[in-house]
C-alpha cells in the first residue's frame, strides 16, 4: 500500500465518529422538520368534513326587517350559529340565540348552524388517528323585508353655524374618534344581566329609527337611532344594567355615553350636555347617567338613543320588545 493510501485511510478513520454524529443530527433535524410541516399543513379544520344539507329548524324566521334585533328560540343540540359571519349570542345553554339584521340594502342574509359531532366510525385509520370531526348543519337564507329606503331621503336641517363647525373640525380628530368608537363596539363581553330594558326617557319620538337623511354635503345615511324630545338638561337614564365603556365629548355625537350590556349589545346616548358617569363604572337599569343637550351635529336639543348588536344598529323600541322574550 502506498503512503498516500495509508494517509487517506487514517484521515477517514479520524473523521468517522464526527461523520456519524453529523448523520445522527441530520436525521433528528429532519424528523423535527417533518413533524412541524405535518402539524402545520394538517390543521383539524382541513380534515373536518362540512356539509350544510340539513333542514333548518322551524323556529328560524324566513324574513326579518332591516334594523331588527331577533331571538331564535328552542334550537336543540345546537353548537353555533352564524349570521353573515357574525356569531349569534347564545342564551340559556345554547338553546336560544340572539342576532340582528342591520340597516342594510341587502335582500338576504345567510344564517348557518353547525352541529358538531365526532364521527369516527366513518373515518379510515389515518383520519381516526387524527380525530376527524364531521361538521354538519344547515344554511338558510333569511329575507330582509321590509328594507329601508334610501330613495325617500329628506334633508337634515342643520344651522349653518353647526355645520361649519363640524366641517372645519380636524379630519385627524374625527378619524381618531371613529377608531375609538369602533374599538369600543368591537370588544364583546359575556352576557350576564337579563333584566328588562326601559327607554332612557319617557318622551315623544321626534325622529324615527332608519329615517333616510341627506347631509348638507349631499351624503346619504340612515338614522341609526331614535330621537326623543328632551329640553336641555333633562335627566337621562341607562336603558339596562351594564358597564360604561365610553363617556366623552366627541365632535359629531357631542357628549357621548356608551354602555356595554354584554353579548355584543351596547346602548349609545348622544348630544348630552353633562356626563355624570365614568368609564368602567357598573350601571344599573334606570340609573341617571347624565343630562341631555344639543352638543355635536344637531338642529336642536334632543336625546339620540341607539341600540347596537355586534356593530349593527337596530330599532331601539323594537329591541326593547324583543328583549322581553328573554327578560320576561
Ligand atoms: Zn338622532
Going from the Cα of 320 to the center of ligand 1, the distance in angstroms, rounded, reads 18
Same domain? 165 vs 289: yes
Reported as a single tens digit per residue, the pLDDT across 253-279 is 999 999 999 999 999 999 999 999 999
The number of domains in the chain is 3
Same domain? 209 vs 232: yes
Going from the Cα of 227 to the center of ligand 1, the distance in angstroms, rounded, reads 5
Going from the Cα of 28 to the center of ligand 1, the distance in angstroms, rounded, reads 67
Going from the Cα of 208 to the center of ligand 1, the distance in angstroms, rounded, reads 8
CB neighbour class for 104 (10 Å; exposed up to 12, middle 13-18, buried from 19): middle
Q: Which of 212-216, 241-245, 286-290, 314-318 has the lowest mean pLDDT?
A: 212-216
Same domain? 322 vs 248: yes
Q: The dihedral of CA 166, 171, 172, 177: what is its sign?
A: positive
User: Which residues, 6+ apart, have CB-to-CB distance to 179 below 8 Å?
Assistant: none
Same domain? 241 vs 270: yes
Q: Which of 46-55, 116-125, 132-141, 291-300 has the lowest mean pLDDT?
A: 116-125
Reported as a single tens digit per residue, the pLDDT across 77-102 is 667 899 998 999 988 777 889 999 99
Reported as a single tens digit per residue, the pLDDT across 281-322 is 999 999 999 999 999 988 899 999 999 999 999 999 999 999
- What range defines the domain where residue 10 resides? 3-41
Same domain? 123 vs 171: no
Answer yes or no: is 35 within a domain: yes
Same domain? 140 vs 25: no
Say how far apart CA 257 and CA 253 lie, in whole Å.
Answer: 10
Answer yes or no: is 149 within a domain: no
- Comparing CA positions, the residue from 43, 98, 103 lying closest to residue 72 is 98
Going from the Cα of 223 to the center of ligand 1, the distance in angstroms, rounded, reads 6
Going from the Cα of 295 to the center of ligand 1, the distance in angstroms, rounded, reads 12
Same domain? 67 vs 175: no
**pLDDT score of 129:** 66
Going from the Cα of 35 to the center of ligand 1, the distance in angstroms, rounded, reads 58
**pLDDT score of 172:** 86
Q: Select the highest-mean-pLDDT range: 81-90, 149-158, 168-177.
A: 81-90
Answer yes or no: is 247 within a domain: yes
Going from the Cα of 192 to the center of ligand 1, the distance in angstroms, rounded, reads 29
Q: How confident is the model at residue 46 (pLDDT cuts 50, 70, 90)?
A: very low
Whether the pLDDT of residue 1 is over 70: the answer is: no
Going from the Cα of 48 to the center of ligand 1, the distance in angstroms, rounded, reads 47
Amino acid at each position: 500500500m502506498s503512503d498516500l493510501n495509508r494517509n487517506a485511510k487514517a484521515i477517514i478513520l479520524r473523521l468517522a465518529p464526527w461523520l456519524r454524529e453529523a448523520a445522527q443530527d441530520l436525521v433528528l433535524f429532519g424528523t423535527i422538520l417533518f413533524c412541524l410541516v405535518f402539524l402545520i399543513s394538517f390543521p383539524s379544520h382541513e380534515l373536518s368534513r362540512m356539509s350544510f344539507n340539513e333542514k333548518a329548524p322551524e323556529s328560524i324566521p324566513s324574513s326579518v326587517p332591516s334594523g331588527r334585533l331577533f331571538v331564535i328560540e328552542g334550537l336543540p343540540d345546537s353548537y353555533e350559529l352564524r349570521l353573515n359571519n357574525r356569531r349569534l349570542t347564545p342564551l340559556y345553554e345554547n338553546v336560544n340565540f340572539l342576532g340582528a339584521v342591520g340597516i342594510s340594502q341587502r335582500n338576504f342574509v345567510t344564517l348557518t348552524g353547525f352541529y358538531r359531532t365526532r364521527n369516527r366510525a366513518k373515518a379510515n385509520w389515518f383520519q381516526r388517528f387524527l380525530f376527524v370531526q364531521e361538521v354538519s348543519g344547515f344554511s338558510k337564507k333569511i329575507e330582509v323585508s321590509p328594507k329601508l329606503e334610501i330613495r325617500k331621503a329628506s334633508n337634515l336641517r342643520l344651522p349653518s353655524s353647526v355645520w361649519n363647525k363640524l366641517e372645519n373640525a380636524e379630519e385627524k380628530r374625527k378619524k381618531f374618534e371613529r377608531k375609538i368608537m369602533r374599538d369600543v363596539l368591537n370588544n364583546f363581553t359575556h352576557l350576564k344581566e337579563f333584566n328588562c330594558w326601559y327607554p332612557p326617557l319617557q318622551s315623544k319620538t321626534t325622529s324615527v329609527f332608519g329615517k333616510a337623511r341627506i347631509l348638507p354635503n349631499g351624503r346619504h345615511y340612515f338614522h341609526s337611532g331614535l330621537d326623543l324630545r328632551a329640553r336641555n338638561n333633562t335627566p337621562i337614564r341607562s336603558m339596562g344594567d351594564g358597564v360604561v365603556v365610553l363617556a366623552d365629548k366627541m365632535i359629531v355625537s357631542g357628549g357621548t355615553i356608551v354602555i356595554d350590556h354584554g353579548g355584543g349589545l351596547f346602548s349609545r346616548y348622544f348630544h348630552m350636555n353633562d356626563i355624570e358617569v365614568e368609564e368602567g363604572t357598573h350601571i344599573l337599569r334606570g340609573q341617571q347617567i347624565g343630562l341631555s343637550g344639543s352638543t355635536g351635529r344637531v338642529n336642536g336639543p334632543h336625546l339620540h338613543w341607539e341600540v347596537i348588536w355586534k356593530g349593527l344598529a337596530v330599532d331601539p323600541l323594537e329591541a326593547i320588545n324583543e328583549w322581553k322574550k328573554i327578560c320576561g
